[in-house]
Amino acid sequence: MEELQRLILLGENDRVDFKQRVTQPEKIARTLVSFANTRGGIVLIGVKDDGTIVGIDPEEEKHTLQLAADLYCDPPVELMYEEEEVDGDTILKVIIPESKNKPHFARVKEDDWRGYIRVKDTSVQTSKMVNKVLQQEEPLFERLPLEWHENAVLEYLQTHPRITQKQYMKLVNISERRAYRTLVKLVIHGYLRLHDKEKEDYYTLS
């Protein structure tokens, strides 16, 4: 109980999010993915943004959360649940560990999957803020062994100043979705830097 009150008192931040209810799996999936892609976190269901406790039916919330984690996150996100009572109201504490299978993507709509990370108290699409996160003193993400199509973009950038997603699709002959996923993965793991201030996003070596 003391731990829960402390979390609520501190408010939303890079490790904690409040939700009054969870009704739309596609929306909560973005929050789940952002925590899994960053350092992990906790979602308190039954708490308003201002910290007011409203309580919920935990079984109903778990059903929507599990649906979001399994079907609206790719790969699926691991969740752990704890229930706590405060003055007769039930709060569901949802724990999302930092993932070993980064990056995760959230389904925004049919055939549209996007990466998110947690920045302060917000889930931010990776194509907008990933640079700022990677520029922190401590790297958040470890470097991975790469596959041939991932190495191909790094080799290309040894002799070219930049590459766009369309150029990368043509270079290795892969689909738009796979190209996007690969480029985001390489940005998240510190191999590439994304530049999104121009008309068309492009990537350079980190």
Sorted by sequence, the CB contacts under 8 Å of residue 164 that are 6+ apart come out as 200, 201, 202, 203
pLDDT above 70 covers a percentage of the chain that reads: 89
Rounded average pLDDT over 81-103: 92
CB-based contact 109:27 (threshold 8 Å)? no
Supply 71's token pair: 């079907």
pTM as predicted: 0.66
Query: Which residue is it, tokens 């689909």?
Result: 175
Domains 2-125 and 148-205 share a fold: no
CATH top-level class of 2-125: alpha beta
Supply 120's token pair: 């302060």
Q: What does 135-187 look like in DSSP terms, one character per residue?
A: TSSS-SS------HHHHHHHHHHHHSS-B-HHHHHHHHT--HHHHHHHHHHHH
pLDDT band at 134 (very low <50, low <70, confident <90, very high): very low
pLDDT band at 47 (very low <50, low <70, confident <90, very high): very high
Q: Looking at 7-16, 64-73, 178-187, 189-198, which range is the least confident one?
A: 189-198
pLDDT of residue 65: 97
Name the fold adopted by 148-205.
Arc Repressor Mutant, subunit A (1.10.10)
Domain ranges across the chain: 2-125, 148-205
pLDDT of residue 131: 41
Query: Which residue is it, tokens 């993932």?
Result: 99
- Residue among 37, 101, 28 at smallest CA distance from 69: 28
pLDDT of residue 186: 84
